[in-house]
């Protein structure tokens, strides 16, 4: 039986057991990963998984069950168990299948790379990355390098007539380098991933960057407490987009627990700032033709010229808010859908990173963030950080054991983006500068 045949059978059994409506998802895939450290293979793992999720509705009540055995012989019992669970839970006035689900449209997303590397190829990639890291002057040790390959298959069906499936591959490489010794040791890393092997960044470049970053962090100081401009390196600036999407998540808005709950259609960033969600980007790390409820995906500007234009909605949160799903539902096999972004990015600005910092007499350049001290209700922001001081427009001494603090509404309004956006990780932003943050140090 095909994946869709299995889901049709499962939904039929659930309906026969008394479900008024149902949907089912089958997630399957394979993965291969290897790790090398100091020239020796430390890990070689291969796995296969096939997980099934069934959601049933009995009136306004619903339940979700999951199984790692996609065996039709157990489908009747699985459907009966789900229906029995649904009958004893409270009613949910906003639950139900997506009204906007429709037959999948042809989408040239190019998410399935036929190249499937074996263990020897992955070991070679990891070796190249680690050797490049160790070759950097000042690097004294390695935490290893890892290379991975994964293939995932998604199949979704609903009792309302939707049926769709797609596959995705990913290739990755990671390197972690150490510089110095004893209590003066510093650690840093780099990684890359891509849907197609041909697009994966060079392993030697990843290793070299990891080593260079580790050496640059040697002998950090603890900066003095001050209020100053803060510049976020691209590998941490994307975290600001995560805070944005958490604040515009439809479930959070429906509960009224977001500092942006009253800001739809209002300016939340400085003029010129654009934030895009692109679920149909060819070869995108999070691209998909439809969401976890069968709603077709579409590109959206979440922020247009600084103005917040939309919430991220699945069907349930859309009903709560009297709106329509934006096609952002995600789910695993063991729970109901919830909203989440796909390929998220902040558009580049006009200034180079060098020009962005040129007028900063004293500031902070952040390369690492620690902890999650963010209050989603008030927008208060406080996180541990490490990086470099900026003095007279250029990077100076490394600093560590500091905290940066501010308020996300004010930080968004005072944000300026550089022109160095690179789409690497699914959530990407260029170098950004934020005025007037508090650095708490010595």
Q: Which of 102, 116, 250, 238 is nearest to 171 (CA)?
A: 116
Is 363's pLDDT higher than 90? yes
CA atoms of 60 and 95, how far apart (whole Å): 7
Whether the per-residue pLDDT at 51 is higher than 80: the answer is yes
The residue length of the chain stands at 442
Between the two ends of the chain, the Cα-to-Cα distance in Å is 65
**For residue 232, what are the CA distances in angstroms to 181, 236, 400?**
28, 6, 15
User: pLDDT tens for residues 210-263?
Assistant: 999 999 999 999 888 999 999 999 999 999 999 999 999 999 999 999 999 999
Residues 375-383 have a mean pLDDT of 95
Residue 2's CB: how many other CB atoms inside 10 A? 9
Q: Is the per-residue pLDDT at 101 higher than 80?
A: no
- How far apart are alpha carbons 193 and 284 in whole angstroms? 10
Q: Is the pLDDT of residue 107 over 80?
A: no
Q: Which of 59-73, 98-112, 347-361, 403-417 has the lowest mean pLDDT?
A: 98-112
Residues 46-68, mean pLDDT to the nearest whole number: 95
pLDDT given for residue 108 in this prediction: 85
Model pLDDT for residues 131-142, shown as the tens digit of each residue: 999 999 999 999
> Per residue in 305-342, pLDDT tens?
999 999 999 999 999 999 999 999 999 999 999 999 99
Adjacency order of strands within the sheet including 300-304? 307-308, 300-304, 275-277, 344-346, 427-428
Query: How many CA atoms does the CB half-sphere of 174 hold within 13 Å?
Result: 12
Does pLDDT of 106 surpass 70?
Answer: no
User: In the chain, pLDDT over 90 holds for what percent of residues?
Assistant: 93
Q: Which of 122, 113, 110, 211 is nearest to 172 (CA)?
A: 122
d(CA 250, CA 268): 17
Asked if 133 and 145 count as a contact pair (C-beta separation under 8 A), the reply is yes
Asked if 201 and 173 count as a contact pair (C-beta separation under 8 A), the reply is yes
Q: Give the integer Cα–Cα distance in Å for 425 and 192.
A: 7
pLDDT for the residue 442? 62
Nearest to 208 by CA among 247, 242, 177: 177
- Residue 105: is its pLDDT beyond 80? no
pLDDT of residue 323: 96
Please state the separation of Cα 114 from the chain's center in Å: 24
* Average confidence (pLDDT) over 89-115: 87
Buried b / exposed e over 243-274, threshold 16 CB at 10 Å, is bbbbbbbbbbbbeeebbbbebbeeebbeeebb
The model's pLDDT over 34-44, given as tens digits with 9 standing for 90+, comes to 999 999 999 99
Confidence of residue 196 (pLDDT cuts 50, 70, 90): very high
């Amino acid at each position: 039986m095909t994946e869709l045949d299995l889901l049709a059978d499962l939904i039929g059994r659930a309906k026969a057991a008394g479900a008024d409506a149902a949907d089912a998802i089958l997630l399957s895939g394979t993965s291969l990963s290897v790790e090398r450290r100091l020239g020796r293979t430390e890990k070689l793992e291969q796995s296969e998984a096939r997980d099934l999720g069934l959601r049933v509705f009995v009136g306004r009540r619903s339940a979700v069950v999951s199984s790692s055995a996609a065996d039709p012989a157990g489908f009747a019992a699985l459907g009966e168990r789900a229906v029995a669970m649904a009958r004893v839970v409270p009613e949910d006035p906003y639950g139900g299948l997506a009204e906007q689900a429709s037959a999948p449209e042809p989408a040239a997303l190019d998410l399935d790379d036929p190249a499937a590397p074996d263990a020897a190829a992955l070991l070679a990639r990891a070796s190249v990355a680690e050797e490049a890291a160790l070759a950097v002057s000042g690097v004294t040790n390695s935490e290893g390098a890892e290379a991975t390959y994964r293939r995932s298959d998604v199949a979704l069906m609903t009792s309302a007539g939707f049926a769709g499936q797609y596959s995705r591959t990913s290739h990755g490489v990671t390197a972690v380098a150490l510089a110095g010794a004893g209590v003066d040791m510093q650690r840093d890393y780099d990684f890359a991933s891509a849907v197609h092997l041909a697009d994966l960044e060079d392993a030697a470049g990843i290793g070299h960057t990891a080593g260079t970053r580790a050496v640059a962090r040697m002998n950090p100081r603890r900066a003095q407490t001050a209020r100053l401009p803060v510049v976020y390196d691209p590998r941490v600036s994307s975290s600001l987009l995560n805070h944005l999407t958490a604040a515009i998540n439809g479930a959070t808005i429906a509960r009224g627990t977001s500092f942006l709950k009253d800001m739809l259609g209002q300016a939340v960033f400085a003029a010129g700032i654009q934030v895009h969600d692109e679920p149909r980007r060819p070869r995108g790390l999070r691209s998909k033709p439809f969401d976890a409820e069968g709603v077709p995906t579409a590109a959206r500007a979440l922020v247009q010229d600084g103005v917040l234009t939309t919430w991220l909605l699945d069907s349930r949160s859309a009903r709560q808010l009297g709106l329509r799903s934006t096609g952002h539902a995600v789910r695993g096999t063991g729970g109901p859908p919830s909203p989440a972004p796909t390929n998220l990015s902040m558009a580049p600005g006009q200034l180079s990173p060098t020009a962005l910092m040129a007028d900063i007499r004293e500031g902070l350049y952040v390369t690492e963030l620690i902890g999650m001290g963010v209050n989603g209700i008030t927008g208060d922001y406080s996180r541990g950080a490490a990086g470099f001081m900026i003095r007279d427009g250029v990077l100076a001494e490394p600093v560590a054991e500091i905290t940066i603090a501010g308020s996300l509404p004010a930080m968004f309004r005072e944000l300026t983006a550089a022109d160095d956006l690179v789409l690497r990780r699914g959530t990407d932003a260029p170098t950004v500068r934020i005025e007037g943050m508090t650095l708490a140090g010595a």
